[in-house]
A and B are shown apart, each in its own frame.
Chain A
Amino acid sequence: VYQVFESVAKKYDVMNDSMTLGIHRVWKDILMHKMNPCPGTLLLDVAGGTGDIAFRFINYVRSVRQRQLQRKLRHNQNLSWQEIFESYQKDKFNSLGDSQVVVCDINREMLKVGKQKAQHLGYSEGLSWVLGNAEELPFDDDKFDVYTIAFGIRNVTRIDLALQEAYRVLKPGGRFLCLEFSHVSNPILSRLYDLYSFQVIPVLGEVIAGDWKSYQYLVESIRQFPPQEELKAMIEDAGFFKVDYENLNFGIVAIHSGFKL
């Protein structure tokens, strides 16, 4: 798995765009919307290598924070100028409202690409990058508000261990969110999807990233991955409550959610 991602790291984003025809951006946006984080949330994004989820998270809490501050200012309209000035100063340096995201990935190359992207796009505060294994996270218990793993869990050898670790590091009340390729039940769509996956994607892999084998592996790992209900059962086994999933695009992708209660 490590070598697959080493070669794939640099072209990861480009390949994502071409494989999914850009729709992966929409899927990630939907994930963020579902999370609906409020400022002050501590997010752990596992297998988040190039930072897609992390950047979206920061944008989201930043805009929620903006709205919060606007509302506060409107409320403060009866204060003196001095008081308004002081409250503005206090909040000015807290544009994220203490929200933070830790991006954890097993692969140094992916993290490197992520850090570069962050610098390039101008993300500086609220981000940390940690090298780590989803089956054995380098974090204490009960630390995070939300744990996400987007298109990463299918690459984990022992999914049950990763789920247990997710449970461990989440605070009580915390949420587990998993965005992953899943099973299409509609037979017609399923055939088209198979055709696309096995014929087109490895070719794209060769043309764009110069790597047929890695993308062949990716497509096969998607097929081998447990379907929605099975994954739901595994998440429940790890101790999560109110586990449920939402199919996107007829099941090509699914978002599973669970709470540590």
Chain B
Amino acid sequence: PSHSYTGQGGQESEDYESEEQLQHRILTAALEFVPEHGWTAEAIAEGAKTLGLSVAAAGLFHSDGSELILHFVSECNTKLSELLKKEQKLVQLGEAEKKPIDEFLRHAVEARLRMLIPYIEKWPQALSVLLLPRNIPSSLNLLTSMIDDIWHYAGDQSTDFNWYTRRAVLTGIYNTTELVMMQDSSPGFEDTWRFLENRVADAMAMSNTASQVQSTGEAVVQGLMGAAVTVSNAETSRAVR
């Protein structure tokens, strides 16, 4: 239901804001407090405060921070899309060189993962929340649309891979790199970017073999299982620390 939103001066502004838009604004404001409070109702409460709302507004959301995390992931994906679109335009206008496929994938994944850096300390916590059964449909959805997006902007070079493998391969690369990044303490995350380079190179080499479909599927499943174990280990070791 739309209603008039009372602005700072107590004056009724002409902008009608829906509940959803207001919730959106609260979550965006809450992100600033995540490094300190984690992905929690506390961060959301602090965010609400900066908008001039009562801390009780955090009650609009789940206490485990699910919505906040999903909101963040969705925002990051949007930012990535916009970045890739901008770069594509530059290539079309002839102002930039078209990247070869392996470089393009590396660049896209790195750009997306770099968005995690300000929140990296609390990201393992977020990953475990995203793996909750309740959240899996949404988080899986966000992941696959991001991966599809990257392939879309990769252009026609991507016909080397068949459609199903493309998704699986890049998902595997992204997830494993993300996990490596969680454990990485090297300066500027150089270990992570080197890992990424190697994985992409592997994928390129693999695309030349005929049995890729089945083996990739298996590899990805194993990768995700390993991922789940790594995340839970990371969480436990973090809690102990």
Residues of A within 8 A of B (CB): 34-38, 40-41, 68, 144-146, 170-175, 241-242, 257, 259-261
Contacts and interface: CB of A to CB of B under 8 A. Distances in A.
A179 to B, nearest CB: 15
Contacts of A173: 48, 51-57
A47 B140 CA distance: 47
B91 interface: no
10 contacts: A38-B55, A40-B55, A68-B42, A146-B56, A172-B6, A172-B52, A173-B54, A175-B59, A259-B60, A261-B57
A146 B99 CA distance: 56
Contact of B54 (A36, A145, A257): A145
Contacts of B55: 37-38, 40-41, 145, 173
Q: Which 5 A-B pairs have the closest CB atoms?
A: A173-B53, A173-B57, A173-B54, A175-B56, A171-B54
Contact of B58 (A34, A38, A260): A38
Interface of B: 1, 3, 6, 19, 22, 41-42, 45, 48, 51-60, 63
Contacts of B54: 144-146, 170-175, 260
Contacts of B57: 173-175, 259, 261
B3 A37 contact: no
Contact of B56 (A68, A174, A241): A174
* Majority-rule SS of B interface residues: helix
Contacts of A260: 54
Contacts of A36: 41, 58-59, 63
A41 B19 contact: no
Contacts of B51: 173
Contacts of B60: 242, 259
Nearest to B45: A38
B176 to A, nearest CB: 30
B4 to A, nearest CB: 11
A227 to B, nearest CB: 23
Contacts of A174: 54, 56-57
Contacts of A38: 41-42, 45, 55, 58
Contacts of A68: 42
Given A145-B54, A170-B54, A173-B48, A259 B59 contact: yes
Contacts of A34: 59
Contacts of A261: 3, 19, 22, 57
Contacts of A145: 54-56
A241 B1 contact: yes
Contacts of B56: 35, 37, 41, 145-146, 171, 173-175, 259
Given A261-B3, A261-B22, A171 B59 contact: no
A35 B63 CA distance: 10
Contacts of B52: 172-173
Nearest to A64: B42
Contact of B19 (A146, A171, A241): A241
B175 to A, nearest CB: 29
B6 to A, nearest CB: 7
A172 B22 CA distance: 12
Q: Which of B55, B57, B60, B63 has the most CB atoms of chain A within a 10 A radius of its CB?
A: B55
Nearest to B17: A261
A241 B48 CA distance: 16
